[in-house]
Amino acid sequence: MADPAPVGSDVQAGTYQCANCGYELGIQSVQSLPPCPKCEGPYSWNALSGGDSPQDPYPDGR
């Protein structure tokens, strides 16, 4: 997964932060990243926790 992950990327559960405004979005299950609800821009998301985070010991879902 690219970091930052572009809008529309399918991601695992975790917390993602808007690369533009810093808004944090909690994802509860695998889903596509939406546009940021705060700045409404088609910006990328940085993984803070979860399956796409650099800190995840099993990024491939193992």
Q: What is the pLDDT of residue 23?
A: 96
* pTM of the complete model: 0.74
For 36, 52, the CA distances from 3, given in Å and listed in that order, are 16, 8
pLDDT tens-place string over residues 11-59: 889 999 999 999 999 998 888 899 999 998 888 999 998 765 555 544 4
Return the residue matching tokens 């821009």.
41
| Domain segments of the chain as ranges | 1-62
